[in-house]
Structure 1
Amino acid sequence: LLLEAFPGFGCTTALYSQTFTITIADKSFGVITIPAGSNIATLNGSVTDCANTPVTNGYIMMKEGDIFTRFPLNNAGTYSASKFYCDFPQTVTLIGEDISNSQQSTFISKVINAGANTVPNIQACGVSTQQFVSYIINGITYSYTAPADTFSYFNNFLSSVSITATTIPASGQTSFGMSNGAIATGNNQDLLFFYPAQIFDSMSMITPVPVYISEYGPVGQFVAGSFTGTFTGKPPANTQYNVTCNFRIRRRN
């Protein structure tokens, strides 16, 4: 049999290979050592805040397609991040994030090659990282806010976007969906559903509810908007629910 280790999915050249035979006994391969310099790139750089001081509570995020990898900054505001690749050169997108001040940089594009790659300082400033889902139902306010709560965003690239907010520790989950017809800043989408964690009823829209999009950045940036509508519960009570919702979530795809 042949054991091979590849740098990533879809790569055709193995970094390591070893033939072996099997018996009825367990087999240990010990520590597998990849040859030095094999398809690995290291990015070295620093991140500063809006005042140009080192960010000591933050991350450098690397975006490749729709995949994000996050590397923590050290107490000097610097990072050294290594990744395997099938081949070189590669182009990645970098985002510096300042958790303490809820700020991040714009996208920084970087072409990288095998070995050490020095990245100019990135200033995590100018883009708010605030994420929240806040809504009022019949005069009562409910809210989810990062980082205490978590959020998910999914665009199926066909007909809808779904957003979910979850309280940590898990004690309630709210979700809603909207259409994604040419979605962009300043236009309206159709609300498809709204399932608040606090209402144990089946809520149906009385009339169509538009979702106004006030912000729509590229993947890795943010989508924000709001909607107001009237819903009715299931019979026989047919309870009426007046809802106003505001949200801002990081786009994952």
Structure 2
Amino acid sequence: MMNSNASTEKKYQEAIQSLRKINDDLFYGELKQLIKEREDAIAAMNEAVYQYIEKMEEHLKSFPDQVSGQLKEDLIVPQQASLERFNSNLADMENRMGLWQSQYQDYLIKTENLLSGMKELLREDQEFAGSQTERVLSELRKLEEKVRDVFAEEFSEQASKTNVKYDAVSERLHTILLQMDRMEEDRRGESEHWQQQISQVQIKQREIQTDFDQKWKMMETSGFKTEKSMRKWLVGLAVGQGVALIGLVLLLIR
């Protein structure tokens, strides 16, 4: 009985350790790694955008000064060559303004894509967390069924052993009674007295079993119904065996 309890406790502890391992391997470790990778990717994208913005700001700061200096030089010296160079520079300026507008538009597109990407990443992270949570819950249900099967197996094994022992004691008791009947036919009156004692023992055994059944019903609302039921059943049979053995001892003493 003690070995069985120790074995059940060991399996229960193994189930708890398995639960913790599932909790770490299937959910937290994998989810944290994915979130870390997502955060690194977003940080890298943000860094690239910030660098691009800084370059654009530097270009915008230097652009008015460049244009102003070029215009002054061309207007102060109103020569044909200067005008031609001014026209050329003006065309170049227009090209650079067009390029800047193109770059600015590209920046807006990249910013919109970045925001869309971040929203998509958040949505995917939520879906991933949901799927991982469902996986963990599924594993928990499987583990719960496994633990229930372990208790059921232990309960059936102990019940089978107890029934075998109880049947052996009952058979042995019956054999002894028959032998005593054959050997002491001249003491039938005393034998009847013994039979009455055995009947009282059997009645007492039924009363004890009934008492255990009532206690078992009272424990049905407990959170440990399976373990309590197993202990109640085994203890009830053990007490029944004890009562039967006491009856046998009384018969032998007489």
Under a length normalisation based on structure 1, what TM-score does the superposition of the two structures give? 0.20
For CA contacts below 8 A with separation 6 or more, give which structure has more relative contact order. 2
Largest Rg, 1 or 2: 2
Bigger proportion of residues as helix: 2
More strand by share: 1
